[in-house]
Amino acid sequence: MPLSSELTLASSPRAAADARRWVSDICRRLERPDLVECAELGVSELVANAILHGEAPYKVRVRGTASHPRIEVVDGSTRPPVPPAPIDLDDLDLLLTFGRGLAIVSQCALAWGATIESDSKIVWFEPSEQVSDEGSAEWVIDQHHADAPEPTSEAAVEVHLLGVDVPLHSSLNRQYHELRRELRLLSLSHQSDYPLAGDLTSMFANFERQFPESFHRQIRDAESRGLPQVDVAFPMVREAGPIFVTMTEMFDVADAFCRAERLLSMARTAAQRAFHNWLLGELVHQLDGATARPWTGFPRASPASTSRVG
């Protein structure tokens, strides 16, 4: 099963011990006891660093793939971590160290880095099978991308999405964000093992550039007001139509990868997929000159059809 659980941590020194136990259990469930020592050591340092230098809330979670599990520590600060200077571990008991800096993380990681979001940061590492004498793992930093500008082309079309299900859109956006970040980190740190991740990352980036800031602003406003549904209107260039046709297929490919556990992100639910296909279909049809069709809800089987015995 894809891993989707996370652990919320207390703002105290006890947090590192809680995180160690949790990731140790995850590694054993993945049948990777060879990763336990480095996983425990690395997460201790990241949790200590988050509590000493970051802001609440603090969380630890596991993402990645079955062959490359990734441990992440999240805190509420957007300040990037400072890359470490090399240290000498000597013969100390590694699991008893606390707050000794990111240099230790680099010594027990195959790859590591940080993602800076608009309201938080995620520092992550992929545990290795043994601690290295020198921290040689590549440091990767992934910044949050700015919103796309409004289209200025005279050929821009005013698109209307009618009856957008705001809670369903929010859940789909969270699922997409996790998938998008998963693919980007794989393309940055394991391009040779996952060549398709780089291709999908580029396609997703191009897909995101088609949505202007006014679209996101209207959705955020509806979310902040607690609206169940909202109509939104925004400009979009006609040339974007083929992009949405291709991305409809690519999202299905990504779902298949998730269900096959080649990614540890969750596939879209049936309701999310139906809503997503409606949204993308509306963009394609309206850019081709069709009139807007409202979202009518996720179709469910009737009680009579579900109760039949074949």
Which range has the worst mean pLDDT, 17-26, 27-36, 126-135, 249-258? 126-135
Mean pLDDT of all residues in 47-75: 87
Nearest to 57 by CA among 106, 5, 124, 122: 122
Q: What is the mean predicted confidence (pLDDT) over 43-69?
A: 86
pLDDT in tens, 245-289: 999 999 998 899 888 877 767 899 999 999 999 999 999 999 999
Assign 166 to helix, strand or coil: helix
**Is the confidence at residue 110, as pLDDT, over 60?**
yes
Instruction: Output the furthest CA–CA distance in the chain (Å, rounded).
Output: 71
Given the structure tokens 């995101």, which residue do they identify? 208
Cβ-contact 269, 174 below 8 angstroms: no
CA proximity to 212, closest of 151, 264, 273, 276: 151
Residue 12's pLDDT is: 84
pLDDT at 133 over 60: yes
Burial of 290 (0-12, 13-18, 19+ CB in 10 A): exposed
Share of the chain above pLDDT 70, in %: 79
- pLDDT tens figures, 188-219: 766 666 667 777 888 888 899 999 999 999 99
Q: Return the pLDDT at 96.
A: 39
- Please state which CATH number belongs to domain 6-143: 3.30.565.10
Least confident of 80-94, 124-138, 172-186: 80-94
In this model, does residue 98 exceed pLDDT 50? no
Which residues make beta-bridge pairs with 58? 9
Q: Where are the domains of the chain?
A: 6-143, 156-287
For residue 132, give the 3-state DSSP assignment.
coil
DSSP 8-state assignment for residue 212:
B
pLDDT in tens, 215-236: 999 999 999 999 999 999 999 9
Q: What distances in angstroms separate CA 253 from CA 39, 95, 118, 194, 227, one per listed residue? A: 31, 41, 28, 14, 32
Distance between CA atoms of residues 217 and 149, nearest Å: 12
Coil vs helix vs strand at 21: helix
Q: In the chain, what percentage of residues exceed pLDDT 90?
A: 44
First to last CA, the chain: 30
Nearest to 233 by CA among 299, 296, 156: 156
Contacts with 95 (C-beta within 8 Å, 6 or more apart), sequence order: 20, 37, 40, 41, 44
Name the pTM for this structure: 0.68
206-212 long-range contacts, Cβ below 8 Å, gap at least 24? 206/243, 207/243, 207/244, 207/247, 208/145, 208/148, 209/148, 210/148, 210/236, 210/237, 210/240, 210/243, 210/244, 211/147, 211/148, 211/236, 212/147, 212/148, 212/149, 212/150, 212/151, 212/236
